[in-house]
Amino acid sequence: MAPIPHLRVEILRDARSFVLLWDQIDSLRKDLGADDDVLLDPLHFLAATDDRRRSCSVACWSGTSLIGLVYATEQYLKGVPIGYAVGGDYAGRGLLLCRPDDEEAVLEASIQLLAASGIHSLHFRMIPSTKARIAIHGMRVQFLDSLIPGDRMRLPATFEDFLGTLGKHTRRNVRYYTRKTRAAGIEFVPFLTREEYQVGVERLNAKKTFRADPSHLARDERILTLHSRVQRLGLRASDGSWVAILCGFTQGRRFHLLTQLNDARHEALSLSIVLRGYTVEHLIANGLTELHFMGGTSLSFGRFCPPQRYRSIFVDKNSGIVATIKQIGGKVAELMESVGTPVPNSVKSICNGSLNERILIDRTAAGPAAVAFQRKSRSPEPRSGPPSG
């Protein structure tokens, strides 16, 4: 990469900041062929922010030309910024809008500006275009590179063709549990009203087990208002109650799945895989060619998505009282894990790059990736259903 002598940088902290640059951002998206990528759409990014996650995105210019935009949010606690910022979704999408040749310079300039503006910890998740690694004066920078299951699943022309792309036992499980749920009087409903979906959310998310973050559910509704081709699908029991629901939207011929909730009391029916199977069949029947699991897919389907490169960058100031606290916290977290005590996510976020590599891996898509690829390499493939025969 040819070095860029000087970049002008600016933090975009609110919607007004994006509006002022709207034409420049739109032009850059079109030049990069990213205008159909919803995760690089400013509207989508802003809809996903709230009082706890506020924009600290960085725009970068070379001369008068906008050459890069880093989408990031700073975490807030009761209205107070805590100096911890995150960029990119779980699968590494939505962080960086720039040309591959400018990636290193845009990242370096953005991190330097954020560090000078009160950010002491950064966690960037991305699909890297290069193998280059940056170094920032006064900052500890750690890289975690991995190959992970992709978050986009190609949909063939027929549902039977789709089943043929799965492993033998996954294919068997889709068919077996679909028959089992039908026998239990559970039906697939491809079109839920918003009111029906909310009834399902209230029922399924009232349980403490596998409870979704209410702020994420509120984010889903804000994102759905941006799209005209919104869909909510579900499984309904014979008594009329919703036992599994999911929502998403279609753009082009790709369906973006936002959230799925399942009734944990029906664990023996594998409702998650059943609803996803029905959903795929429905999407194929409507001419769609790709399913995007936003934020990452499950182990059951993820290992059948094309794998993709993934990189986590952990950046921390390496001096001062905050750095000392994080280093002590990292040691405490390691000790807690060694005696089998779960480490709270809030502690992991605060410690950031001061955690040991094993804990860092578990915080990212690299952790489940190791499990998924291990399963895929086994022979025979493991199954979740009861023994056959």
Residues 215 and 98 in one domain: no
In a domain? residue 327: no
| pTM, two decimal places | 0.87
Q: Is the pLDDT of residue 383 over 70?
A: no
Query: 36 versus 29: which is more confidently predicted?
Result: 29
pLDDT at 245: 96
Give me the mean pLDDT over the 38-52 stretch: 95
Q: Which long-range contacts (CB under 8 A, 24 or more apart) does 268-273 make?
A: 269/177, 269/180, 269/181, 269/184, 269/186, 270/173, 270/177, 270/384, 270/385, 271/177, 271/181, 271/235, 271/243, 271/244, 272/244, 272/298, 272/300, 273/170, 273/173, 273/174, 273/177, 273/300, 273/301, 273/384
Q: Is the pLDDT of residue 371 over 70?
A: no
In a domain? residue 223: yes
Residues 43 and 106 in one domain: yes
Res. 358 pLDDT band, cuts 50 70 90: confident
Mean pLDDT, the chain, whole residue set? 88
pLDDT at 367: 80
Q: Is the pLDDT of residue 18 over 50?
A: yes
Give me the mean pLDDT over the 200-218 stretch: 84
What is the residue whose two structure tokens read 């779960």? 342
Q: Look at residues 320, 355, 376 and tell me which one is the last residue of a structural domain.
A: 320
Residues 130 and 204 in one domain: no
Q: Is the pLDDT of residue 374 over 70?
A: no
pLDDT tens digits along 251-267: 999 999 999 999 988 98
Residues 210 and 113 in one domain: no
In a domain? residue 339: no
User: How many domains would you assign to the chain?
Assistant: 2
Q: What is the CATH number of the domain that holds 285?
A: 3.40.630.30
**Alpha helix positions (H), 51-193:** 103-116, 159-165, 168-183
pLDDT at 362: 81
pLDDT at 297: 64
AA identity, residue 75: Q
DSSP characters over 162-182:
HHHHS-HHHHHHHHHHHHHHH
Residues 187 and 73 in one domain: no
pLDDT at 2: 45
In a domain? residue 353: no
pLDDT at 376: 55
Residues 139 and 250 in one domain: no
In a domain? residue 191: yes
In a domain? residue 200: yes
Q: Are 87 and 124 in contact (CB under 8 A)?
A: yes
Element holding 215 (H helix, E strand): helix 214-224
Residues 125 and 16 in one domain: yes
Distance CA(200)–CA(271), nearest Å, equals 14
Which structural domain range is residue 127 located in? 8-145+309-320
Q: Is the pLDDT of residue 99 over 90?
A: yes
Res. 322 pLDDT band, cuts 50 70 90: confident
Q: Which of 111-115, 149-153, 272-276 has the lowest mean pLDDT?
A: 149-153
In a domain? residue 332: no
pLDDT at 361: 84
Residues 26 and 141 in one domain: yes
Residues 240 and 270 in one domain: yes
**Helices vs strands, H then E, count in the chain:** 14, 16
Residues 15 and 132 in one domain: yes
Query: 312 versus 319: which is more confidently predicted?
Result: 312
Q: What is the CATH number of the domain that holds 99?
A: 3.40.630
pLDDT at 381: 39
Give me the mean pLDDT over the 231-260 stretch: 95
pLDDT at 348: 79
Q: Is the pLDDT of residue 111 over 60?
A: yes
Phi, psi of 93 (to 5 degrees): -95, 160
Residues 175 and 273 in one domain: yes
Residues 167 and 34 in one domain: no
In a domain? residue 299: no
